[in-house]
Structure 1
Amino acid sequence: MDELIERVDERDRVLGVVRRDEAVRHGWLHRVAVTVCRDRDGRILVHQRSRHVSRFPGCYEVAVGGAVAVGESYEEAARRELGEEMGVSVAPVRFVVRFLNRSGLSPHWLAVHEAVVPGSLAPGVDEVAWHGWLEESELFEFMRRRAFTPDSGPMLDRYLRASGQ
């Protein structure tokens, strides 16, 4: 069974509980939380999605995240996804910006967080094919040469503007 999420309106108010695949299929607004991960030197984590995932297989991303579950806050979802996808459970996440994103698979409210990740990562092999750390200047060139998920560019732009980078 597909995961249950909250369908929301244009002001991010809950309308009801639906299955995620249903929200995507009908283009209903829902909530997604992501985290831009940095190391202690300020580099940004980039990862490639596994070819086995259903959404954007093999594409690269500059944030770790996913749908917010029923009754979960954006921050709780960001922490949970960071643990599930990268094996990180000790890094505190900090909210940066939230916006209505229409550039992804379906429209959603996107809450962007930031975390400084200490030590090594243990990415979930079912979701992550490759990961690496890039300086911002390297990241922009890397993004020009690789296929990224549709919302990576708009998300990164909002994140950098909101965080003063």
Structure 2
Amino acid sequence: MTDAATGPADPREEILSVVDEHDEVVGEAPRGEVYARGLRHRCVFVQARDAEGRVFVHRRTAQKLVFPSLYDMFVGGVVGAGESYDDAALREAREELGVSGLPRPTPLFKFLYEDGAGHSWWSFLYEVRCEPPVHPQAEEVAWHAFLTDEELERRLGEWEWVPDGLAAHQRLLAFRAG
């Protein structure tokens, strides 16, 4: 069942583009099949900072299909079939942060994430300025806070983080340094 305003009632039914090693679309499949078969797809990461420059950090809910209950320093998610990276970044940021009128996130760079266990996805990293208050989506976010860069770096060794978010974070640090 699909709701015109929110998409499939079951996230596993959402249709994703399947892409090759060059990020060219080679087919489409439901998200559940994409995950089960380890098919390469597209994803967006959006780093949201408040007016003081602090980073939005959250813990994912236990019901998430991928990396449940882990911490993340990005909002984002999969890019739907026929959807652009830019549109997905705006949609995901608005949904997860619960902020209407959010400006369009600024694209920074794209990279291929591979975890060594057969999972890979093309990932586009963005940044956006977010003015609190935020009202995170309860189905996505179990806990949230805005942390300084220093506090985030301290927490990296203390909390269990989503592996693709850690990879994106490392790439972002290198991007900003170089």
User: In which range does the TM-score fall when normalised by the shorter chain?
Assistant: over 0.9
Q: What residue is the counterpart of 1:100 in the other structure?
A: 112
2:16 matches 1:10: no
2: CA distance, partners of 1:3 / 1:163:
34
Determine which of 164, 167, 173 is the counterpart of 1:154: 167
CA 42–73 in structure 1, closer or farther in 2 if over 3 Å, else same = same
| Residues 27-46 of structure 1 aligned to structure 2 (within 5 Å) | 27-46=38-57
TM-score, L = length of structure 2: 0.86
Q: 2:157 aligns with which of 125, 130, 144?
A: 144
| Percent of aligned positions that are identical | 35
Q: How many residues of Structure 1 are paired with residues of Structure 2 in the alignment?
A: 165
2:74 maps to amino acid: A
- Alpha-carbon RMSD across the aligned residues, in angstroms, is 1.7
Q: How many angstroms apart in 2 are the aligned matches of 1:104 and 1:49? A: 23
1:25 equivalent to 2:29? Answer: no
Counterparts of 2:162 and 2:63, CA distance in 1? 15
What secondary structure, in the 3-state scheme, does the structure 1 residue paired with 2:156 have?
helix
Q: Distance in 2 between matches of 1:91 and 1:143?
A: 28
Gaps of 5+ in 2: 1-9
Letter in 2 for 1:147: E
Please say if 1:64 is aligned against 2:64.
no
What is the match of residue 131 of structure 1? 144
Q: CA deviation at 1:143?
A: 1.5
Aligned position for 2:126: 113
Runs (4+) off by over 6 Å:
none
Q: Any idea what SS the aligned residue of 2:81 has?
A: coil
The verdict on how the C-alpha distance between 1:126 and 1:150 changes in structure 2, with shifts beyond 3 A counting, is same
Structure 1 position 56, deviation (Å) = 1.9
Q: What secondary structure does 1:52 align onto? A: coil
Q: Which runs of 5+ in 1 are unaligned?
A: none
Indicate the structure whose relative CO is greater, using CA pairs within 8 Å and at least 6 residues apart: 1
1:78-93 correspondence runs (5 A) = 78-89=89-100, 90-93=102-105
Shift of 1:104: 8.9
Q: Which residue of 2 aligns with 1:74?
A: 85
Kindly state the Cα deviation for residue 161 of structure 1 after the two structures are TM-superposed. Answer: 2.2
Partner of 1:85, secondary structure, is helix
